[in-house]
Structure 1
Amino acid sequence: MTDSRRAPSATLAAVAAVLLALVVVLGLLALVVGWVAVLVLDDGVSRWVWGLLGALLLWRLVPRPARVDRRALPTSRDEQPALHELVDAVSAEVGVAAPARVLVDTGAATRVHPTGYLGGAALVVALPEWTALDPGERVAALAHELRCSRVRRGPAGILVRVAGDVLSGARTILTPVKAVTADRKAVEQATSTMGYFGPGDEMAGNLMRRQASAAVGGAGMQVVAVPFRALHAVLDRAWRPTLHHAASEADRRAAALAGPAAVRGWLLAGVGVPRGATAAHNAAHTPGVDVFLAIEAAQRPTPAELRARLDAAPAAAVDLEHPPTRERVAALESGDVPVSDGWVERSTVTAAAVELFRMRAALGERYREELVHGRS
């Protein structure tokens, strides 16, 4: 039997994550204040030097929120009114603010991406997953993703994301950049006979010295980056229990809205080989076959096969932000699901599906290319 209340250890980990994030953000602000003080107190040419170096450093350290993939197609309330109505209805039922944008893409799973640091979000509907699910499972997927994003869009989640972006910027600065050089074998062949004339030995020596210098410099940068990598790892580990609790709570809210069977079906659709993925790959290599129609016609795995997949990989999870899928399914099967009178008009789900299926024409060929050549 699951408990929606957070364990004391998870609460302590969340507090630690928020405090650590606050220290990182305050450290960045202290760096900015120190830089400004140097510019004010210094004079002469050194002021310009420190100003230029500080501006370049701070420009890279300024946190930048992750952006939605540019290949995702945006939707509008004028052209896809039922889809937006469905998203608004599900958001209201699970108690979160509706995302500012709704997009459609060919990714593997529907996701809500927090945008900016003011609580905004964008919903990216994965058309292949949507095609493979039945109406109840589609509502379950939307309900879970919308509810699960609440913690990342809240004040604590925003602070942790800001700190994580700052640490990512610091790690990027301290990551050695590989120089683009000519093919080593070609260089060796070009200089192998020059030793007879004198310059070959000198060129080989210069090459070895450059390589040694780059190796020493890269090792030094890696050593300096160790504290930032460690801080980032500690921050992620401390915040992970909060994300896991949010995911479990989102499963419960989705089950209260769409029913435990719908949530369980959606979860099992992604275990092992995602539902319809094999049919989609086969269709992509067959000229004239519609990839999305192949997903629709794909046969569902039997319950025994799905159970075998769960047992074969008990620790497998969607990602690090979610508990293992086996634990999530077990929680649903325990019967500890809140009773809710929330509901979504079935006609709205059907109308939203029609609007999304109309977008297959714009995404079908691209999805085929991604299946054949990979998603770049």
Structure 2
Amino acid sequence: MPAEEAAEDAAKDAKTLAREQAAAERTERLFQEVADGRADTTRRDWLAASALALPIHLVTVALAGSGIWLLVTGNTPLRCLGAVVLAAAFLLRPRLDRPPTGTGVLKRTDAPALYGLADRVAAELGAPPVGVIAVEQDFNASMSVVGVRRTSVLTLGLPLWEALDEQQRIALLGHELAHRINGDHRHGLWLGSASGALVRWYDFVRPRQRHSEGIGLVALIFLIGDYLSEAFLGVVRWLLNRVHLLLERLTAQAGQQAEYRADEFGARVASTEAACGLLATLLLGPATRTVTMRLRAEINSRPRSGGGRARRDSAPGPDVDLLWQQLREHLAAIGPLERERLLRRSRRDGHAVDRTHPPTHLRLALLERRPAVAAAVTSTATESAAIAAELASHRARIARTLLAG
């Protein structure tokens, strides 16, 4: 028996390795296509994904239409059924999300300098101005479009922002704002809502707790009904999972091409050097976590005035400022040899921001293949100081959150 289990595990490992190898080959092939200026494959993928989204949306429309028809034309039992169908259509409908609110959101009146810099970058790219800017604690940044009015939301991870110099920050803004013009449809109204609908449908048909009411024949009827419904829902879940995987597969390479284009737009506004510096900094995420953990441990080891250990969630002001200072000093101390080692490890491990992005070393390689360009947008010392002042309260809030663990 152990030998059979070992053989099964080896077969699974071989299949996993084969899938990973195939994915790596597709990634390399896409890199060559983008580097050579070819994009036929990704155009076909976008079209196929858009076609796949059509029946997903039609299911929601059909449910809503059937529910309304039963309510209008049916008798009392059919109207009850229509109400249930209409409720299901409402629960399973594609969501458009809403613009964020809360402490992490910066209003234009509260951050005119940051919005002004983002608007200048957008104007240089020919992109729409950003609607909302929010800050969070992740070592990342993102752009999304939400709501009926399709409001653009730029989310800046403050640890990443603090790790960058001024031109690299402009490259970051350029990269994120370029997602409005680089042909990235993954999070658009049509494809994004279809993908979200599939996730909600899958959640709707997840296994539920089996009934245990009754005894004898009643319990047997419930048990048979549970097994039959679970068998049916299992088939539905398998089908939904296959469709979702296919949609992800179709948008994966096209989405990665959009990321390459966003990198090039970032270089156009901030310079090739700044865009490469931004990508190199993305490899330093673990170093920022090291700084946070080290300072958190130091704070936690201090004795309180009344005895015991210091509370991490009430870190004093000097410690909050010290986090960002130590972060900058730690990253500045990482020399060229260590950075080259991180880049080599990135090539070996296929490091990427997430599975929707190309490997970071390929993004760097593509920028290095292109002719170097100078910065089209720069910031003054006065503007940089104003942005730092606008982010001051958020720097303190996020530092406390990070130090609290």
TM-score normalized with structure 1 length: 0.81
Within 5 Å, which residues of 2 pair with 1:1-376?
Answer: 3=35, 5-48=37-80, 50-66=81-97, 73-116=104-147, 118-150=149-181, 157-178=188-209, 217-271=229-283, 273-287=285-299, 289-290=319-320, 291-300=323-332, 301-314=334-347, 315-336=350-371, 339=373, 342-347=376-381, 348-369=383-404, 372=405
Q: Name structure 1 gaps, 5 residues minimum.
A: 182-201
- Deviations, residues 307-337 of structure 1 (Å, cap 9, x unaligned): 3223324322112221111110111122345
1:24 and 1:273 map into 2 onto residues whose CA distance is 38
Distance 1:83 1:275, change over 3 A: farther
- Report the 3-state secondary structure (helix = DSSP H, G, I; strand = E; otherwise coil) of the residue aligned with 1:286: helix
Q: Which amino acid aligns with 1:237?
A: R
Q: Which amino acid aligns with 2:278?
A: W
1:207 and 1:325 map into 2 onto residues whose CA distance is 57
1:98 Cα deviation from its structure 2 partner: 1.8
Q: Which moved more, 1:108-117 or 1:154-163?
A: 154-163
1:264 Cα deviation from its structure 2 partner: 1.4
Match of 2:307 in 1: none
Distance 1:239 1:223, change over 3 A: same
Runs of 4+ in 1 over 6 A off after TM superposition: 152-156, 206-213
1:271 and 1:219 map into 2 onto residues whose CA distance is 45
Distance 1:46 1:93, change over 3 A: same
Q: Which amino acid aligns with 1:176?
A: P
- Report the 3-state secondary structure (helix = DSSP H, G, I; strand = E; otherwise coil) of the residue aligned with 1:47: helix
- What is the aligned length? 348
Q: Tell me if the contact between 1:90 and 1:344 (Cα under 8 Å) persists in the aligned partners.
A: no
- Deviations, residues 204-223 of structure 1 (Å, cap 9, x unaligned): xx999988875664443222
Match of 1:186 in 2: none
1:261 and 1:153 map into 2 onto residues whose CA distance is 24
- Report the 3-state secondary structure (helix = DSSP H, G, I; strand = E; otherwise coil) of the residue aligned with 2:377: coil
Q: Which amino acid aligns with 1:322?
A: H
Distance 1:134 1:4, change over 3 A: farther
1:155 and 1:270 map into 2 onto residues whose CA distance is 22
- Report the 3-state secondary structure (helix = DSSP H, G, I; strand = E; otherwise coil) of the residue aligned with 2:391: helix
Distance 1:274 1:352, change over 3 A: farther
Distance 1:67 1:280, change over 3 A: farther
Match of 2:23 in 1: none
- Report the 3-state secondary structure (helix = DSSP H, G, I; strand = E; otherwise coil) of the residue aligned with 1:112: strand
Q: Name structure 2 gaps, 5 residues minimum.
A: 1-31, 300-315
- Deviations, residues 128-150 of structure 1 (Å, cap 9, x unaligned): 11111111111111111111244
2:181 and 2:220 map into 1 onto residues whose CA distance is 54
Q: Tell me if the contact between 2:139 and 2:285 (Cα under 8 Å) persists in the aligned partners.
A: no
Distance 1:341 1:330, change over 3 A: closer
Distance 1:152 1:286, change over 3 A: farther
Distance 1:154 1:17, change over 3 A: closer
Q: Tell me if the contact between 2:352 and 2:360 (Cα under 8 Å) persists in the aligned partners.
A: yes
Match of 1:192 in 2: none
2:126 and 2:211 map into 1 onto residues whose CA distance is 51
2:341 and 2:137 map into 1 onto residues whose CA distance is 28
Q: Which moved more, 1:153-162 or 1:141-150?
A: 153-162
Greater length-normalized contact order (CA 8 Å, ≥ 6 residues apart): 1
Distance 1:307 1:148, change over 3 A: farther
1:40 Cα deviation from its structure 2 partner: 2.8
Distance 1:212 1:328, change over 3 A: farther
Q: Tell me if the contact between 1:105 and 1:124 (Cα under 8 Å) persists in the aligned partners.
A: yes
- Deviations, residues 158-211 of structure 1 (Å, cap 9, x unaligned): 211121122122111111245899xxxxxxxxxxxxxxxxxxxx99xx999988
TM-score normalized with structure 2 length: 0.76
- Report the 3-state secondary structure (helix = DSSP H, G, I; strand = E; otherwise coil) of the residue aligned with 2:72: helix
1:239 and 1:155 map into 2 onto residues whose CA distance is 7
